[in-house]
Each structure stands twice: as C-alpha cells, then as structure tokens.
A and B are shown apart, each in its own frame.
Chain A
Amino acid sequence: MSAATAAISEQAPIPEDNSHPAQAKPALRDEGAKLGFRLTLPAQILVLFIALFPLLMQLYISLTDWSPLSGLGWWSAWSLWNNFANYTDLAADARFWSALKRTAIVMIVCVPAEFLLGLALATLFADEFPGKRIFYSILLMPMMVVPAVAGYMFFMLFQSGGPVNDILSALSGFPVTIAWLSDPTLALIAVMLADIWQWTPLMFLILLAGLVGVPEDQIKAATLLGANPWQRFVTIVLPKMKTIIIIALAIRVIENFKIFDTLYIMTGGGPGVATETISVYIYKLTTQDLIWGYVAAIALAILIVLSIAAVFAMKRMARAREVSA
C-alpha cells in the first residue's frame, strides 16, 4: 500500500526485563544477598537436613546387609559392609525387573486412559448442559474416597459373586462367574480399572481448568475462518493447553509409578506376583523379608531414575511454556 507503512513493519520494542531493579547497583545487591543468606540460614540448614539426612542414611544402609533383626543400630551398619552386593543383586533380581515391567504396563495403560477420559469429560463440561453441577459433583467423588475404602469397594465389586459379574450376566443372558481377582491377567485389569476410576477425576479437573482458559474469541475467529470443531480442537485448543497437559501427565505418571494402596487391598500383589508393582515388592521386602539394606538400594535406584525423568520433564515443560506464553 502506501510508503508510510514501511516504518510500521518493524517490531515493537520488547519491553526490557525490569524485574531485577537491584541489578543496577551491584554493591547494594550483594549487601541484600548477604543479609538474606544470613536470615534464611537456619531454615536452609533445616531443609538440607530433612532432605539430605534420609538420603545419606539410605545410601549408607544400602551398602550393607543391615536389617532390623541384625541387633545393631543402623549407625553401626558399616560392620555389615557387603561390597555393593545389594546393587549387583538388584541387577540380577528377576522379580524386581518383572515388578518394574508391570508398573510400566499399568502406567502405559492407566495414564493415557485417564488422560483421554479426562479430556473428553472436560470438553463436555466446558459447555453448559442441564444438571451440570450435579454431574460435576458426582464426577469428582472418586477422588475424595479414601484409597483403602476404594480398595475394599473394588475388592467386593470383582468377587465372583459380585456386582460386576451380575451386570455381565444380566447383559449377556448367561450366568457369569469370572474369578477376576484370582486370574493373573484379569486381576491386573481389575486393578487398572480401579486406578482409572479413582484418578480420571483429577485429570478431568486439571484439564477443565486448562480448557476454560482457552480464549473464546480465538475459537470464534477459527470458526469464522472455516475450521470445524475437530480442526479447532487440534489447531487452537490443544496447543493452548499444552503446558497444562504436560503438568497433568507428569503428576499422574509420578503418582501412578507409586501405585500401591488400592491395589494392595484388592489383590495384595497376587495372585502370585501377577499384580506386584514396585511399591508392593518393596513393601513385601520391608515387612516380610526385612532386608532393609536391599530395600534401601532399590529405593535409591528408583529415586535416581525418577529424578532424571523429572528434570527432563521439567525442562520440556519450561520450553513449552516459553513457546506458548
């Protein structure tokens, strides 16, 4: 168009970051930092102690054969030093690796299922419909049920004479008497269903918060430009929800990795070891086998793996935020 517009094409100056006004006076800032350090020192020491002490204690014990039955205080565990045997045992512990694999399977099934269900429900609840408030309350209830109670509930549901089989009988017309919790595969499925029931609401809640935050006028603009509902969802809604989706998935992945309470009450890890996840295995080693040195080694190994994963996820999250801000 006109020549006058050439001048406008350049970018507006990006506002400078003024959030650190003290940077202008380094001397003053150093003073402030020193005072701040001194004031927070007691708290820092406390936090360091809380975080570091158990870790160091764990590391120490994990290098020994110490157990509460050894008759020694944990601090004298050095006399039971075993030359890293716990770690070499761990590498060769088939039961550990199969528990890890099972935990991974549960995670790979449950987290995506919870995510997709939660997203579908959130999409539904982003619009108005009659009875929305009541359904909303009902939907959030599983999250509030004490896991132990949920465990007993599902234990009862999946008995061979329980309601699940009754419903299947009614639907199929044949008497169904599946022994859910005694079949290795079905028990794992039952446990996963319980987890999905219990944790989809949390996913739903987080995703709904993200969904209502998507600017409505951008959705209208997309509609006017001819995007159909699916295209709008993929091109506008999902990209805008990226950060919150990553957060929701991260929370559930971490939580699901530690799956224990409901599952343990339903199956106790059985039949056999069919539903034995990492947490159940550790629990058994701690309370039944009482080999605490070995438990410490497992816990430490998992902590390290999870920490690496968390750092990685956090980096990705920070980058996503940068991109979508």
Chain B
Amino acid sequence: MSAIHLQNLVKKFSDFTALKTMDLAIADGEFMALLGPSGCGKSTTMNMIAGMEEPTSGKILFGERDMEGVPMARRGVGFVFQNYAIFSHMSVRQNLAYGPKMRGAPKAEIDRRVGAIAEMLQLTPLLDRKADRLSVNILQRVAIGRSAIMEPAIFLLDEPLSNVDAAFRAVMRTELKQLQRQFRQTMVYVTHDQLEAMTMADRIAVMDHGVLQQVGTPLEVYNNPANVFVARFIGAPGMNLLRGRPAESDRGLVIDLGPLGVTPPLPAEIADAVRGAPGDVLYGFRPEQVTLAEGGRGLSLPVTFVERIGARTIVHLGQGESAVKAVFDNDVGLAIGLTAVVAPAVHSVRVFDAGTGRAIKAGG
C-alpha cells in the first residue's frame, strides 16, 4: 500500500526544467534518502509526492493507486518542512494535537496520543510552551511529532536536520532511524548531507541537476558509483579521478596517466571491459584506499597540503589535472614539499569513460 513509484516524473517551472524524467521505486517500509547538491530538484520531487506541486508529466503511484488529482490532505503523508512550518501562535501541545483535532478525534483520544508522542520525543515538559519561544532543536522535534501523531504510512522529511547544530544532528540521526524501525513507515528523506544519507537510509537516490544519477544501498553507491558525479559527490573527500589512456603492458592492462607514469595493472575483471571502451578513461580510486608505497611502484606526487582532522590526516598531492587526495592515519610522516609515492589498493580501482562519465564495469 505505501510503496511509492515515480514513473517518468517531470517538473517544469515555465521554461526551466527542475526535474527530468525521474524513475524511482521505493518499497513499502523502506528508508530512501534523496541526496544531491542544493537546487538539484529534491524538494520539487518531495512536493510532488506530497501533492503540493502538480507534476508536468509522469505518474506517482502509492502502491497501485495513481495519485493524480488526489489532494494533499487525502494522500496520508506526513511531511516535515525544511523550516518546520511550526504554528508559531500555538503551544507545543496545540501543534501536536492539530492533526487529530482537525480530523475530529475525541478529546480523550487526542490527549492520549499527544501524551504518547510527547513522551517519545521528550517534549512532555515543554507541552505548554509557546512554539515561538523554542530553539530550532525543539521545533524540529515538534515538527516530527506533529506529523508522526497522524501515523502516516508515508513520511516525507525535507532536510529536517540542516538547521540544527552538529551535536543534535548526530542524536537525531539515531532517533529518526529508530522511529522508522519502530513504525515501519515508508520514509523519504531529503538531504544534501551524505553522512545523513549514508547513516540512515536503506537506499540512496543520488540526484544532480534534476537527473537521478544512481540508486543503491549506501555501500553500493560508495563502492560502485555509476558515474563521475556520484564518484566525486559521495565520500569525504570524493573519489580521485585521473585522466589517462589504456595501454597494454607485460603485466596486463594499465592506464597511461601521461606525466604521472602508468598505473599498476587493472584487475582482470574490469580490464576486459576497459579494453572495449573507446578513447580516454578516468582512473578512479578512493582516498581512503591508498597506501604509501615506500620506494615501490606507484604515483609519485609532491605534497601540496596536509589537512589534520584528528583521527585522520588528509594529504593533498599534485595539482590541477593530477590532483590526488589520500587519507592516512594521523601519524603519517608527510609534510608540504616532500614527495610521496602512493599506490591505490588494486581492488578499489574503478574506471570511468572520460567522454560519457559512466563507470566502465566488468561484463558491461
């Protein structure tokens, strides 16, 4: 019933296309994150699911049911707005009770439900406070509670944590996930913060410029980005991508990176696929999957910057086209001016078509 299917969904604002043919199937009870940079059409997608915007073309199905023409009040979705849209002239209690009250629930039942939801969200001591005097962190909980009290089968959250402080964000990530485990709603969660998407979502839909780039579990998206955009966007820092040309060597297929020399041979599975690809490729590897090759084979690059972030140290190597980042333990002995020889772990290497930006995959 509460699975969501988006079929060829398109949204245009006069001559500007905010969303280009989106196809996405969200399973019943799934936690789906819509992840992408600002302005990529995440909110537009959500607003169409909620019924606040009409799609220009395409379909939205809840289960088997076509939602076209169904007004937002009858879609049974809970929606948490980016700025919470709390009724500032009411108390916390009145905010929480709003939905049941408007639907004519009996007073005793409203009280019971408000009590339960307030208890769960730790809002009980604040029930009689005016909503306009509360901190963002509290408003955020009220917004979630106000929707959750309706026990919607579909819960839509538009960047609910983007305005709260970092410590609270970490707490809320856990809690939202628990809330969803408890109630098993279908949850669509919009965010531009990959950490939120990675930690909470069952699957992530990565979007850019109104185009769905990839859908997959957090690990799939991280390990096997479908294209260059996803490779760069996911991960902090994103994947290293170096332009080169495939070349045969006696050890197998390598990529000739020009002035940087040649790479170690590609794993056999992708070597075949790369052989079939026309033109230049991008040689990709995660900064976390790089080792220092003491005197051995690897990419020899000057250290340009050292970023110490506590547990880890991010070392920036090379410049321009051949810029590479590598993440090491914090005791790494590299400093600006030295030259490092780095080697990507062979299994972590991904290759992309330089022309189309698509991943070149084994067997495809």
Chain A residues in the interface with B (C-beta under 8 A): 1-2, 4-6, 8-9, 11-12, 14, 215, 217-218, 220-228, 231, 235-236, 239-240, 323-325
| Chain A nearest CB, measured from B119 CB (Å) | 10
A207 vs B177: C-alpha distance in the bound complex, in angstroms? Answer: 44
22 contacts between A and B (CB under 8 A): A1-B120, A1-B179, A4-B171, A5-B171, A9-B126, A11-B129, A11-B134, A11-B135, A11-B138, A12-B137, A217-B85, A220-B72, A220-B85, A221-B87, A221-B146, A224-B50, A224-B72, A225-B98, A225-B99, A227-B102, A228-B73, A235-B98
Q: Are A224 and B135 in contact (CB under 8 A)?
A: no
Chain A: CB-nearest residue to B126: A9
- Could you mark each residue 80-122 of chain B with 1 if its beta carbon is under 8 Å from any beta carbon of chain A, else 0? 0101011111000000001100110000000000000000111
A11 vs B103: C-alpha distance in the bound complex, in angstroms? Answer: 30
Asked if B123 is an interface residue, CB under 8 A from chain A, the answer is yes
Q: Are B52 and A6 in contact (CB under 8 A)?
A: no
- Majority secondary structure of chain A interface residues (helix, strand, loop or mixed): helix
Partner of B171, one of A2, A218, A239, A240: A2
Q: Which residues of A contact B52 (CB under 8 A)?
A: 220
Q: Are B138 and A1 in contact (CB under 8 A)?
A: no
Asked if B342 is an interface residue, CB under 8 A from chain A, the answer is no
Asked if B133 is an interface residue, CB under 8 A from chain A, the answer is yes
Query: Between A and B, how many residue pairs show CB distances below 8 Å?
Result: 93
Asked if B178 is an interface residue, CB under 8 A from chain A, the answer is yes
Chain B: CB-nearest residue to A218: B85
A227 vs B174: C-alpha distance in the bound complex, in angstroms? Answer: 31
Given contacts A223-B73, A225-B150, A239-B89, 18 further A-B contacts (CB under 8 A): A1-B120, A1-B179, A11-B134, A12-B135, A215-B85, A217-B83, A218-B85, A220-B81, A221-B79, A221-B85, A221-B87, A224-B50, A224-B77, A225-B147, A226-B73, A227-B98, A236-B87, A324-B89
Q: Which residues of B contact A240 (CB under 8 A)?
A: 89
A324 vs B87: C-alpha distance in the bound complex, in angstroms? Answer: 10
Q: Which residues of A contact B178 (CB under 8 A)?
A: 1-2
Chain A: CB-nearest residue to B50: A224
Partner of B175, one of A5, A221, A227: A5
Asked if B363 is an interface residue, CB under 8 A from chain A, the answer is no
Asked if B125 is an interface residue, CB under 8 A from chain A, the answer is yes
Q: Are B72 and A8 in contact (CB under 8 A)?
A: no
Q: Are B146 and A8 in contact (CB under 8 A)?
A: no
Asked if B68 is an interface residue, CB under 8 A from chain A, the answer is no
Asked if B132 is an interface residue, CB under 8 A from chain A, the answer is yes
| Chain B nearest CB, measured from A192 CB (Å) | 34
Asked if B13 is an interface residue, CB under 8 A from chain A, the answer is no
Q: Are B99 and A9 in contact (CB under 8 A)?
A: no
Chain A: CB-nearest residue to B178: A1
Q: Are A8 and B129 in contact (CB under 8 A)?
A: no
A9 vs B134: C-alpha distance in the bound complex, in angstroms? Answer: 10
9 nearest A-B residue pairs (beta carbon): A12-B135, A225-B99, A217-B85, A221-B85, A227-B102, A239-B89, A226-B103, A226-B102, A9-B122
Chain B: CB-nearest residue to A14: B133
Q: Which residues of A contact B179 (CB under 8 A)?
A: 1
Q: Are A8 and B138 in contact (CB under 8 A)?
A: yes
| Chain A nearest CB, measured from B349 CB (Å) | 40
Asked if B168 is an interface residue, CB under 8 A from chain A, the answer is yes
Chain A: CB-nearest residue to B124: A9
Q: Are A2 and B174 in contact (CB under 8 A)?
A: yes
Q: Are A11 and B122 in contact (CB under 8 A)?
A: no
A218 vs B88: C-alpha distance in the bound complex, in angstroms? Answer: 9
A19 vs B103: C-alpha distance in the bound complex, in angstroms? Answer: 44
Q: Which of B164-206 contact A (CB under 8 A)?
A: 168, 171, 174-175, 178-179
Partner of A1, one of B78, B121, B146: B121
Q: Are A222 and B102 in contact (CB under 8 A)?
A: yes
| Chain A nearest CB, measured from B146 CB (Å) | 7
Q: Which residues of B contact A324 (CB under 8 A)?
A: 89
Chain B: CB-nearest residue to A224: B79
| Chain A nearest CB, measured from B105 CB (Å) | 10
| Chain A nearest CB, measured from B92 CB (Å) | 11
Partner of A11, one of B77, B121, B133, B175: B133
| Chain B nearest CB, measured from A89 CB (Å) | 50
| Chain A nearest CB, measured from B142 CB (Å) | 11
A225 vs B135: C-alpha distance in the bound complex, in angstroms? Answer: 23
Q: Which residues of B contact A14 (CB under 8 A)?
A: 133
A9 vs B174: C-alpha distance in the bound complex, in angstroms? Answer: 16
Partner of A8, one of B73, B85, B120, B168: B168
| Chain B nearest CB, measured from A171 CB (Å) | 39
Q: Are B73 and A224 in contact (CB under 8 A)?
A: yes
Q: Which residues of A contact B85 (CB under 8 A)?
A: 215, 217-218, 220-221
Kindly name the residue among A11, A14, A221 whose own CB sees the greatest number of chain B CB atoms within 10 A. A221
